[in-house]
Structure 1
Amino acid sequence: MMEDRLNLAQIPRVKNISKKDFVEQYVKTQKPVVIEHLIEDWPAFKKWDLNYIKEVAGNKTVPLYDDRPITSEFKFNQPHMEMKMSEYIDLLQSKPTNYRIFLYHLLKEVPKLQEDFKFPKMGLRFLKQLPMLFFGGVNSKVFMHYDIDYANILHFQFNGKKQCILYPPSESKYLYKVPHSLISREDIDFTNPDFKKFPALKKAKGYITELKHGEALYMPEGYWHQMTYLTAGFSMSLRATSRGLLNISKAVYNLVVMRHFDNYMRKWKGQDWIDYKNVKAMEKTHANI
C-alpha cells in the first residue's frame, strides 16, 4: 500500500471538538485534523451535490485546469479552457476527466450559495470574502503545492470523497520544491512515487486521509497538500490569516515579489526558465540526503 511506501501517518480524526480544544490541540501546535461532524447543521450538508450546483449555477462560465505540466505558455493559475458549469457537471457525471475547477469564487458568482453555510466559530480569523470552491472528476489529481498566502484552511468535502496527502513545511527539503514557486516537481506521482528518481521522498514525514461528504480537514499554515478525487465531487475552502509575523511576511513576499519575479522570468527566458528550476529542484533536494 502507498502508506507503506511514503512515510505517511493517518490524519487524526474527531467527531466534534470545542473551539478551545481545537485551538490548543491543533492550531497552536500546527497539526492537521479531520472533524467529521462540524457542518451537519449547515443547509449545504443536505443540499450540496453536483445536481444542486448544476441547478443554481449551470449557466455560469467556469475556468478549467487539467494536469498538463506548467510551461512558459501559461501563467501560474491561468486556466486551460472554459465551459458552462452545466456542461462541466455533465462531463463529471458521465466519465473520468482531468479537468478541474481550481480556486473559483463561485459563491460570489452565485450569492444564493452563501445562504447554505456559515463560518465556524473555531478561533480562526476567516477571510470572509474568500470562500472558494474546487471541483474534480474521478481519479483527477491536484499537484503537490502549498498556498501562496500561508493561510490556515478548513477544507470541506461534498458529493463523494477524495484522498488528501499533507506535509508540514519542515519537510520541504525532501519534496523537490521548485525554486521561486509553490510546487514540487510536477512529474512526481505521489500516489505511485518513483523512488529511484526521487529518493528523498522516503525521508519526508507526512499525513494522509480519505475525506468524505460533510467532513472538514484543517490544514495549518504553509502545509503542502496533494489531492486525488476518488469520485467526482467538489470541496469548499475557508481561509484564515496566519497567526505569526513570520508567515505573514512570507505571504507578503510570495504575493509581492516571488510571483511577479517568476512571471517576468518566464516571459524573458521561456521554457529555459522552467527547465532550469526543475533541475535546481533535484540538485537542492538531493543535497539534503
Structure 2
Amino acid sequence: MGLNIKGSIEKVNGKEMSYSNFVENYLSKNQPVVISGLMKDWRACKDWVYDDGTPNLQFISSNFGNSKVQVADCGSREFTDQKRLNMSVAEFIDQWVELSSVEHGNSLTDECKGKTLLYLKDWHFVKEFPEYTAYTTPLYFRDDWLNMYLDHYHMHEDPDTDKKRDDVSCSDYRFVYMGAKGTWTPFHADVFRSYSWSANVCGKKRWHFLSPEQRHLVFDRNMKNSVYDIFEEVNDTTFPNFKKTTWLECTQDQNEIIFVPSGWYHQVYNLEDTISINHNWFNAYNVSWVWDLLLKDYKEAAEYIDDIKDICDDFEGLCQRNLAANTGMNFYDFFNFMVRFSFANVLQLCHLARSSVFDKWCSSSKAQHLIFNLESAKDIAIKMKNTCLSENHNISVDFRSVLEEPAFLELCLQLEKTYAFIHDQCTLINDKEKISMGDLVDTGFCKFVSTVVCNPEDLVILVDDILQDLRISPLKKGQNG
C-alpha cells in the first residue's frame, strides 16, 4: 500500500525573507519549509564538493580522516534504530569508495536490501574542528538556546559516576551527515522534540513528513512503538491506524536548507551521494515541546519501575536518573537550564535599559524578543509546579553566584551577539564591556542580585517582578520578531 501524499513542502528564497517573516509564517506556526540562497559562501560548499556536484571525499579524508565517528548500517535494525558501528572517517570513506564501484538497482528498496550501505551520522564536526569554519548558521536558526547553552555547560552531570565525559560527543547538537545514494534514516521525530535544520552541501534527499496531529496513527495499540520504515509492509493488526495517515513529500536539492518543525515525524532517503549539515535546536517558540516530552518520558520511566516503588529508598531519584539516561536530560537538568537562560535574558534586558538612549527602549525588536523569552520561561515554570521540582529542597540557583560564573558571562555575551545579529543592532558589546552585575545595579534592579531560585514558583515570581518593575506588559505568542 502506497502513502497518501497530501502535498509538498513550500520552497522560498532566503534572500527575500526577513527574520520576522520566517517567525510569523513558519516558526510560530510550526510549519516546515525549504529555503534556498543561503549557502553560496560556505567553505564546505567549496572544499567538500567537486565542480560536478559530487562529494570530494579525498579532501575530507585527507583533512579530517582521523576523526572517530558513528556509522549507521542501513540494512540492519537494532531496536528502534539502525545498528551503529564505530570507525574513523577515513575508514568510512574507504568503504564508501569501494561500494561506489558496485552497480545498484533502480529501486531504493532494492538498494537498501542485501547491501552494506553505511551512513555517517551525528558527526560533531564543529566541536572537533572549531578553527575550520565550514559554514555560517543562517539568520533564521541563530536563536538556538540548546547549542548556546551547551557551548558553556553540560546538560546533565551525574554525581554518582567518576567517568570522564567526552566533551566532543556529548556537548552539542551540530552534526555532519554523509552517505552514498540509497542510505536512509528510519521514521522518527527529532531529539527533545526540537526543531532541526538540514542543509545539503551536495546531493539530493527525499523527505516524507507526518504532522504532529497524526502522531497517534503511526503507533501501535499501546502507543509504545512507532512504525520503523513507512515503505515496508505495515502490519494492520499492530498499527491499525497507519492507513489513515496523510503525508507531505519533498525533494531537497543541493544548496537547499530544510526546516523541520517540532514533533513532525519524518523519514529521509538520499537519492544521490549526499553530504549535509544538521542542527537540532530549540528556543522560546518550541521549548514547551521539550517539557511535554520530558513529562511523558518521566511518566513512562516511573511506570516501568512502579513494582519496586515500595521498596526503593529513592524512587524519585531513580526515575530521574533513568529519565536522563533515556532522554538526555531530566527535570533538574531542564530546570537549571531554564533558570540560567532566564537569568541571562533578565541581564540582557537590564543592559539594554542601561545602554539605551531613548525612553521607549522596550518597544525595540530586541527588547520584545527578550520579553517573549521570559514569558515563555514563566509558562514552562507554571507547568513544572505540580512535579517533584516544587517539593525538592536541594535545588538552589543563586543569581549572585551564577553572575560570577565565567561560563554564564560567556553565555550572556553569546546571547547578546546572537540577538544583535538577528535584530541588526548598530553596536555590539565587546569583551571589555561584557554584561555584568553592574547592569543590574545601574538600572536600579540590584534587589534581583540576591534572588535565589529553588523551585518553579520562584522562577515565576522572578519573571513577574522584573517585567513589572520594567513596566512591561506580557506579550502574546508571535508578537516578537
Cα displacement string for residues 27-61 of structure 1 (whole angstroms, at most 9, x for unaligned residues): 11111000122222222222234423223211222
Tell whether the 8 Å contact from 1:155 to 1:235 is kept in structure 2 after alignment: yes
**Preserved contact between residue 190 and residue 196 of structure 2 (Cα < 8 Å):** no
Q: Which moved more, 1:23-32 or 1:197-206?
A: 197-206
Q: Does 1:218 align with 2:246?
A: no
SS in 1 for 2:78: coil
Partner of 2:91: 87
Mean CA deviation greater in 15-24 or 126-135: 126-135
**Distance (Å, rounded) in 2 between the aligned partners of 1:258 and 1:158:** 39
Higher mean alpha-carbon deviation, 92-101 vs 216-225, is at 92-101
Larger radius of gyration: 2
1:224 is displaced (CA, Å) by 0.6
Partners of 2:221 and 2:281 lie apart in 1 by 25
Distance 1:98 1:178 in 2: 32
The whole-number CA distance in structure 1 between the counterparts of 2:223 and 2:216 is 14
Give runs of ≥4 in structure 1 deviating > 6 Å.
178-181, 254-257, 259-263
Matched with 1:235 is: 276
Between structures 1 and 2, the one with greater strand share = 1
CA pair 20-192 structure 1, distance change in 2 beyond 3 A: same
Aligned mate of 1:137, from 163, 166, 180: 180
Q: Which residues of 2 match residues 106-255 of structure 1 at below 5 A?
A: 106-113=125-132, 115-122=133-140, 125-126=143-144, 127-128=147-148, 129-176=172-219, 184-186=226-228, 189-191=229-231, 193-194=233-234, 200-242=241-283, 243-244=285-286, 246-253=288-295
Q: TM-score, normalised by structure 1?
A: 0.75
Per the alignment, in what secondary structure is the counterpart of residue 80 of structure 1? strand
Which letter does structure 1 place at the counterpart of 2:189? Answer: Y
Is residue 97–residue 138 contact of structure 1 (8 Å, CA) maintained in 2? no
Q: 1:86 Cα deviation (Å)?
A: 1.4
% identity of equivalent residues = 21
Determine which of 60, 63, 70 is the counterpart of 1:56: 63
For 1:138 and 1:254, the matched residues in 2 are separated by: 36
Contact in 2 for aligned 1:98/1:141 (Cα 8 Å): no
Shift of 1:185: 2.5
Q: Which has the higher helix share?
A: 2
**Offset of residue 135 of structure 1:** 2.4
SS in 2 for 1:231: coil
Specify the alignment match of 2:365 in structure 1: none
- Match of 1:34, SS state, is strand
Aligned residues: 255
In the alignment, the residues of structure 2 paired with residue 156 and residue 104 of structure 1 have an alpha-carbon distance, to the nearest angstrom, of: 14
Instruction: With the length of structure 2 as denominator, give the TM-score of the two structures.
Output: 0.47
CA–CA separation in structure 2 for the residues paired with 1:245 and 1:122: 17
Superposed counterparts of 1:7-26, under 5 Å: 7-16=5-14, 17-26=17-26
Counterpart-to-counterpart distance in 2, 1:178 and 1:99: 33
Runs (5+) with no aligned partner, structure 2: 50-54, 100-114, 149-171, 306-481
RMSD (Å), alpha carbons: 3.3
Contact 1:162/1:228 (CA < 8 Å) preserved in 2? yes
Q: In 2, distance between residues paired with 1:136 and 1:33?
A: 23
Give unmatched runs, 5+ long, in structure 1.
264-289
